[in-house]
A and B are shown apart, each in its own frame.
Chain A
């Protein structure tokens, strides 16, 4: 039964929540607005909020200077590829942890998470040398593998928590009917786990998209994603707020749009299935 609430109270809630929401969103909004200003307007004092001459100039400068499409495509491939590859490896692992748990299952899970705590800077040289040996430098394949390994613990863990929510009785019934292990996973488990898998994919796509250490240090041209794109706009000479804003907007817009459209799944993904 819903609690009765006075419209007045609701109005207050609404006003307050919107104020807080806009405050948190403001830096992004400001970046987007600034990207449509001229450089002079971008640093005008007092700052101009809306009544400036909207211009696309910054975007055309950025487009002219950098091959945005290639950076974007690389980001998509690396984030998408690593997520898919990660799922292929993580689904069986998470399945077995969830349905055939042993005493060590939790230790293994926590150990997997702890591999994420290795400081990336400390192993840059070893990894770089390995990549040279394997011929993986500046290749999307190499980055797909690294991103997959970095996010694998999170994928396994999220899937594990989803799978655990699936009632075991269904599986047992299927087994009674003579379903093989493979059929069990493929026809019963996977369909039931689709929402969880979707959420996991989304979250990992975002994490891989935003990773900025390995993607910057292991690429040059062919595999450089948007994180490398933004590294060329960080502090050029002269006025650069507007151009920086345009480049920033271009770097975050795809993921922002994706995130907003798939908000529901994502929210579920962010909860790691551990919160009901």
Chain B
């Protein structure tokens, strides 16, 4: 169908986007690679020359490296599981006939509009503060000792904050998918007397697989980069130091650009491993 002319025109039209993104990817990447092979300490005389793979070795052998990778993956996976599972349930609930459906949908969607810094600040201070936080009041009301969330349960707390931000996104995509489900098909199954759970597994869930794929893909991209939530709440303490936070500590707190850049390269590698893994699933699911 496409002629040769339209093909070259198409290439031309694609060019600005591709070139810009290539530049956006390559320029910092090359600079990062360059720094990663150098001893670059801005506070101690700047660039002090070539150092080979020292930064790479030092970064990966540091006691903080593997825990940071694990923390990163834990946050991504937990948030994905929570948002997808709750998202499906919420979508099923919102799909049912009710009064004021539009308003409920607005309420559910709202957290998506809140800046990550704001939501981290609000959760940290007004809810999770062990003395004046709302949770502390609630706990005391039931006669329990208030929990210091951001130290004793730092990971669950951060996972909760991030999940709250992303739940609307998952819910809305899944809701749209459910609404497109052929209701006659469902009714037929209902008349056949298929139990609710069976209906869910055999009809609803397969129908949602494509939507779930989208949720996982988009969220993973954003979740790998989670930063503000940790910066504001725990500052990386209590086992919440992700890989990107570790790089932040090396680059900005320790002012070791070389070491931090080597960390940046590792983070890019990790992101690509996750990406390839994701693309495998997504590629298959997006084809039809």
Contacts and interface: CB of A to CB of B under 8 A. Distances in A.
Asked if A and B form a direct contact in the complex, defined as CB atoms under 8 angstroms apart, the reply is yes
Interface of A: 1, 3, 5, 10, 13-14, 16-18, 20-22, 24-25, 27-28, 30-31, 34, 43, 45-47, 89-90, 92-93, 95-97, 99-100, 102, 106, 108, 110, 112-127, 129-130, 149, 152-154, 156, 168, 172, 181, 206, 209-210, 212-213, 226-227, 230-231, 234, 240-241, 244-245, 248, 251-252, 255-256, 259-260, 263, 266-268, 270-272, 274-276
A14 B105 contact: no
Main secondary structure of the interface of B (DSSP, over half): helix
A267 B90 contact: no
A230 B137 CA distance: 26
Interface of B: 1-2, 6-7, 9-11, 13-14, 16-18, 20-21, 24-25, 27-29, 31-32, 35, 90, 93-94, 96-119, 121-123, 125-127, 132, 134, 137, 140-141, 164, 167-169, 172-173, 175-177, 180, 183-184, 187, 210-211, 214, 217-218, 221-222, 224-225, 227-228, 232, 243-245, 247-248, 251-252, 257, 260-261, 263-265, 267-268, 271-272, 274-275, 279, 282-283, 286
Contacts, number: 295
Contact of B106 (A120, A153, A263): A263
Given A149-B21, A244-B122, 6 more contacts: A14-B100, A93-B13, A117-B271, A117-B274, A117-B275, A126-B31
A270 B172 contact: yes
Nearest to B114: A252
A74 B97 CA distance: 42
Nearest to B287: A106
Tell me if A's interface is mostly helix, strand, loop or mixed. Answer: helix
B132 A271 contact: no
Contacts of A172: 1
Contacts of A152: 17, 20-21, 24
A156 to B, nearest CB: 6
B9 A96 contact: yes
14 contacts: A25-B107, A43-B132, A96-B11, A97-B10, A112-B18, A118-B268, A119-B247, A125-B260, A213-B227, A241-B126, A245-B126, A248-B122, A251-B115, A275-B210
Closest 3 CB pairs of A and B: A122-B264, A96-B10, A92-B13
A276 B211 CA distance: 9
A241 B137 contact: no
Given A17-B96, A118-B28, A122-B264, A27 B271 contact: no
Q: Which of B125, B141, B282 has the most CB of A within 10 A?
A: B125
A122 B247 contact: yes
A240 B105 CA distance: 32
Contacts of A112: 17-18, 21
A118 B248 contact: no
A130 B27 contact: yes
B109 A263 contact: yes
Among B127, B141, B221, residue most surrounded by chain A Cβ atoms (within 10 Å): B221
A96 B13 contact: yes
Given A106-B283, A119-B264, A275-B173, A24 B107 contact: yes
A123 B224 contact: no
A146 to B, nearest CB: 9
A224 B116 CA distance: 17
Contacts of A275: 173, 176-177, 180, 210-211, 214
B214 A272 contact: yes
